[in-house]
Amino acid sequence: MRKASLLPFVFVMYAYATGGPFGLEDMVTTSGPGLTLVYQLFIPLFWCIPVSLVSAELPTAIPVEGGFYRWVRAGFADFWGFLAGWWNWTASFLLAAAYAVLFADYLTDYLSFYFGSVDGWVHYAIALGLVAVICYVNVRGIHAVGVVSTILEVSVLAVVGALCVVAALEWQHHPFSPLVPPHAPRFRVFGAGLALGLWLYSGYEQLSSVAEEVENPQRTYPRALVTVVPLSVATYFLPTLFSLAVLGNWEKWHTGYFSTAAQLIGGSWLGIPITIGAMIGNVALLNATVLTSTRMPSTMAEDGYLPAAFSARHPR
């Protein structure tokens, strides 16, 4: 089966770790616009950059399928290795389901706006249909996943870049003001925003689970991380900065607000592409999540922790 080269692998990693700026909007109202922007710039210094350095070094030294599961098992013995693999695999079920449902939410809302109320079964059918398509792509192998991720994420970056350019030309407000919401509880301001920021900048180690399927992992992983980490920071920071600089209405931000912000800044010609970009981002996240999570039960089965039928190398 064809292995992943550098460029597709970069976009698979970016899709899993970032996918786009969508999902951070509640951070603005919770922590304030100023602290949100500070978090987006400084959390990488003590969180995702150290993790990315580890994620660059270990695949270079131990480029095995299963990645961090097998690293933990080698370093801390079987019990902790099993837990690392089992916890990650079970959590991935929730992540994958959430991305499929979010895509269906966006699409049914869009259809309802133009065609009236959409029945509940349509929502389920859309989510299940998306899962089926992504499973087919993943069955084709990591190269197919990389090609699809590249197409999806280039589309997302194009519309987010358009939002940044249009907003930059209409700068009106101080985006860092206020630093934190007035009279808000300190734990809510600092703790909740920090937790969300840590979640936004997580996932760089997850692509280690496909190390055997990457061309020349000793070079590909470090080079991919050098590209993806700055791109992730820019993806979160720039659209937030420019949208706040134009609108100045940080109190109104909520989940999915980038679509509203784009509509207010550029009208339908910008709002609709950003909404479609959010949908595409969820597809890319699902695509990358299925890729990385399915390698975990396969390698655990090879090591005897799950039935042999879960292993990709098990004779059918």
Q: Is 60 exceeded by the pLDDT of residue 314?
A: no
Q: What is the mean pLDDT of residues 252-257?
A: 89
* pLDDT given at position 239: 97
Confidence of residue 113 (pLDDT cuts 50, 70, 90): low
Instruction: State the pLDDT at residue 125.
Output: 92
Sign of CA dihedral 211, 297, 313, 73: positive
Instruction: State how far the Cα of 13 lies from the Cα of 153, in Å rounded to an integer.
Output: 11
Average pLDDT over residues 219-246: 94
Q: Residue 270 is which amino acid?
A: L
Is residue 93 very low, low, confident or very high in pLDDT (cuts 50, 70, 90)? confident
Confidence of residue 306 (pLDDT cuts 50, 70, 90): confident
From the list 37, 93, 11, 74, the residue with the least C-alpha distance to 240 is: 37
Q: Say how many C-beta atoms besides its own lie within 10 A of residue 178's C-beta.
A: 12
62 — pLDDT class (breaks 50, 70, 90): confident
Mean pLDDT of 127-133: 94
304: left (phi over 0), alpha (psi -120 to 50) or beta: left
Mean pLDDT of the chain: 89
For the chain, give the percent of residues with pLDDT over 90: 54
Residue 305 class from Cβ within 10 Å (0-12 exposed, 13-18 middle, 19+ buried)? middle
- Give per-residue pLDDT as tens, 164-209: 999 999 999 999 999 999 877 877 788 888 888 998 998 888 888 8
Q: In angstroms, how far is CA 99 from the centroid of its own chain?
A: 10
Burial of 98 (0-12, 13-18, 19+ CB in 10 A): middle
The predicted structure's pLDDT at residue 313: 65
211-231 pLDDT, tens per residue? 888 888 888 999 999 999 999
- The DSSP symbol for 182 reads T
- Asked if the model's pLDDT at residue 31 lies above 70, the reply is yes
- The DSSP H or E segment spanning 123 is helix 120-139
Query: How would you classify residue 248: left for phi > 0, otherwise alpha for psi between -120 and 50, otherwise beta?
Result: left
CATH superfamily of 6-300: Amino acid/polyamine transporter I (1.20.1740.10)
In angstroms, the CA 186 to CA 131 distance is 41
Band of pLDDT at residue 295, cut at 50, 70 and 90: confident
d(CA 55, CA 51): 6
Q: Report whether pLDDT(1) > 70.
A: no
d(CA 190, CA 32) in angstroms, rounded, equals 10
Instruction: Tell me the mean pLDDT in the region 226-254.
Output: 95
The pTM for the full model equals 0.90
Angle at which helices 142-168 and 257-266 cross, to 10°: 50
Which DSSP string corresponds to 19-74?
SSSTT-HHHHHHH-HHHHHHHHHHHHHHTHHHHHHHHHHHHHH---BTTHHHHHHH
Give the highest mean pLDDT range of 69-78, 149-158, 204-213.
Answer: 149-158
| More confident site: 284 or 59 | 284
What average pLDDT score do residues 87-113 get?
84
Does 315 score more than 60 pLDDT?
no
